[in-house]
Structure 1
Amino acid sequence: MTGGSITNNTAQNGGGLYNLGQLNISSGEISSNNATNGGAVYYAGGVITNFAGINILLNTATNGGGLFIASPDANFFILSGGTIAENTADYGGGVFVQSGIFKMTGGVIGDYS
């Protein structure tokens, strides 16, 4: 996926996006979504997932307002640049890592509660 937006969705896991495979997203926005786990994105594993220059904003969840990472096979979720901001959660306003590996190069995580 290149560009575009995923907005105003609700789900149990992954308000904006639930990923169980390989996924590459560059630019765009995931915003104003709601879920119990992963307001914007729920990453359940698969192979390497890459997000480059994406904005994850204004999402809400119980766990992981922006990202919820639960990869049982220690797979990688890689964020290159972009912003995770203004997300809200009881646990992990920006990112909640239950299992797996989260790698971030550049970008910003901030202004969350």
Structure 2
Amino acid sequence: MSKTCLVVDDSSVIRKVSRHILESLGFEVTDAENGEDGLAKCDEAMSDLILLDWNMPVMNGIEFLKALRARPNGDAPKVVFCTTENDVDHIREAMNAGANEYVMKPFDHETLELKLQLVGFE
């Protein structure tokens, strides 16, 4: 069975780059351009992994994460926050809201692969 990933990011470039990396790692990828769209996709089918942007219009990453974790089976996906915010308070807030890991933008294939290994994807 293939691993699934939902990429939630308002940047089409980041979604495209992430999809390319994830597909090369064997993931089946869907994407969403904001948190609201992302939650709708989670309601249709919960992914194994969610790559989540912090700063988005409509619903930001933290709001998405809190709403996701409150849903039935919302604790199942591994969530990796992808963001340009690198101060300790942001990282702590993300982890407290239920993120599993954290990756800085811009990230490359190697960095993302390493983070995915840390959350349990071989």
Q: Report the TM-score range of the alignment, normalised by the length of the smaller protein.
A: 0.3 to 0.5
Greater strand content: 1
TM-score with structure 1 length normalisation?
0.33
> Which protein has the larger Cα radius of gyration, Structure 1 or Structure 2?
2
TM-score (norm 2): 0.31
Which one has a larger percent helix, Structure 1 or Structure 2? 2
